[in-house]
A = this chain, B = another copy of it.
């Protein structure tokens, strides 16, 4: 719970609210609840995980999906795809791009703060593509799970 708590979660949370306002989006309870979780813990989380984590009251799962979609459109959150059939979302700090390394055995997620895809994106631009982005996820078996087997 607190082990992965982000140091300036509060600041990120406030900034996120401002971004919502900037885009003429309303500050609602479900949105605040989702942003509270996403700025406190890194995630990334599925819609279902966020829904379960929401404090008393909470909101409908459908609302979680709609909020996440809306937030992704204004780049407040980033959608990750671990190839297991559901999407995960994390707060988009806007800072340096990063990637994840996912344990195929226990599903634990660690963050990799480097990104080597700049060269690839440059190549794509040379091929005539505009507005280039990419997704990159790494998979392996973590040290702990290796010992177990």
Contacts and interface: CB of A to CB of B under 8 A. Distances in A.
Contacts of A127: 101, 110
A130 B23 CA distance: 44
A128 B142 contact: yes
Nearest to A129: B140
Nearest to A133: B139
A116 B120 contact: yes
A15 to B, nearest CB: 26
B124 A140 contact: yes
Contact of A120 (B104, B124, B131, B136): B136
A143 interface: yes
A103 interface: yes
A83 interface: yes
20 contacts: A99-B120, A101-B127, A103-B129, A112-B123, A114-B123, A116-B120, A117-B117, A120-B136, A120-B138, A124-B140, A125-B140, A128-B142, A128-B143, A128-B146, A129-B140, A130-B141, A133-B138, A133-B140, A134-B137, A136-B136
Interface of A: 79, 81, 83, 87, 99, 101, 103-104, 110, 112, 114, 116-117, 119-121, 123-125, 127-143, 146
